[in-house]
Amino acid sequence: MSELTFEQMLEESFKTIRNGEVVDGTVIDVKPDEIILNIGYKADGIITRSEYTNEANADLTTMVSVGDTMTAKVLKVNDGEGQVLLTYKRLAAEKGNERLKEAFENHEVLKAPVTQILGGGLSVVIDEARVFIPASLVSDTYEKDLSKYQDQEIEFVVSEFNPRRNRVIGDRRQLLVAERAEKQKELFAKIQPGDRMEGTVKNVTDFGAFIDLGGVDGLLHISEMSWGRVENPKKVFKVGENVEVMIKEIHDTKIALSLKFPETNPWANAAEKYAVGTVLEGKVARMTDFGAFIELAPGVDALLHVSQISKAHVDKPSDVLSVGQVITAKIVDLNEADKKISLSMKALEPAADEAPEMEGVEDVAEEGTVEE
């Protein structure tokens, strides 16, 4: 039997490794772009920056220290320079995929920070394994700008798991829908029409505002924003504003809100304030061919019929009146039940034969004085 050379004995004293094998090692040197490991083999193991992390410009000296122990996977036994090329990131991703598979099968809720904002959604990482959350599954409402989620820790479930096709899909929306349903159930169990609540303006449209009552939205219709007239809700409310509202109606899961509180009702004590015969001022709010609507107070409009504008013939209100004009009129009819008031300017004009009579009296008085 021939004797082995020193080099042969030294080589046989090291273990053999193969591509794909998982090895343990100790860090013997760290550079900004690579880590060198003693893996008990005749050559050292090398982990490049791209095989350690997904951060393109990461400084490995701030992430790993000499003396640390690491587990990595062999990519190439000989990288062409006699060194063993290793990967830490891919091994971690494999372990992460096992974690995601387990979560997928058990419908487990996961939590992770958003690492990247993509064109069509968000990217999160669980143990170096990437999960894509499409924009449609990020929220239970439409999200135009996803940038606010950058670095934010979010909860989600894995709704699709197919690592072979590099397709692991996360779903945050179903958690929010379930949470909202639970909040709705709790809220509907304790509210009733007439209750007052604090809410936050969530969205404003041309027809009203949606108010968040604590996980449940209610609609404040434009017609319920004031006893008076509101032309544009966007000029009245701003998103994020806090507001006290009254629950007007509840239909299944829909809540109608109102700001028409009973104590501010302008029709309260109408019989006294707007009694027939009362003379008052009002502002022309709008006009039609048959008359003009006069605002007596916010929420109280009265009709000045075209025939009641003047004793002289008036073809249409706009011939003698203009929107915004302040007029003086007399209340000639009040229907409190139907909230209708009729006005007359004509009733305040002197009778046709009053002027001449008064002139005659003055002449007689004057003549009498002269005679004396």
Q: Do 296 and 250 have their domain in common? A: no
Domain containing 286: what range?
Answer: 270-348
76 and 55 in a common domain: yes
Of 201, 230, 263, the last residue of a domain is 263
Q: Are residues 78 and 16 in the same domain?
A: yes
Final residue of a domain: which of 263, 283, 313? 263
Is residue 152 one of the residues assigned to a domain? yes
Identify whether residues 12 and 80 lie together within a single domain. Answer: yes
Distance, CA of 52 to chain centre: 39
Bridge partner residues of 217 (DSSP): 212
* Residues 6 or more apart in contact with residue 62 via CB below 8 angstroms: none
User: Is 14:41 a contact under the CB 8 Å cutoff?
Assistant: yes
DSSP string for 217-277: EEEEEGGGS-SS--S-GGGT--TT-EEEEEEEEEETTEEEEE---GGG-TTTTHHHHT-TT
Q: Would you say residue 234 lies in a domain?
A: yes
**Angle, CA 354 vertex, CA 351 and CA 360 arms, to 5°:** 170
Residue at 353 is within a domain: no
Q: How far apart are CA 192 and CA 197, in angstroms?
A: 11
CATH number at residue 10: 2.40.50.140
CA pair distance 250, 264, nearest whole angstrom: 22
Give the closest residue to 22 by CA, choosing from 85, 69, 73: 73
Domain count across the chain: 4
| 362 inside domain | no
Please list the pLDDT of the chain residue by residue as tens digits (372 residues): 445 565 554 455 456 788 889 899 999 999 999 999 999 888 899 999 989 987 888 899 999 999 999 999 999 887 667 789 999 988 888 888 889 999 999 999 999 999 999 889 999 988 878 899 999 999 988 888 899 999 999 999 999 998 778 789 999 999 999 998 888 888 888 899 999 999 999 999 999 999 999 878 999 999 999 888 888 999 999 999 999 999 999 988 889 999 999 988 888 888 888 999 999 999 999 999 999 999 998 889 999 999 999 999 999 999 999 999 999 999 999 998 888 999 999 999 887 655 444 443 344 333 333 333
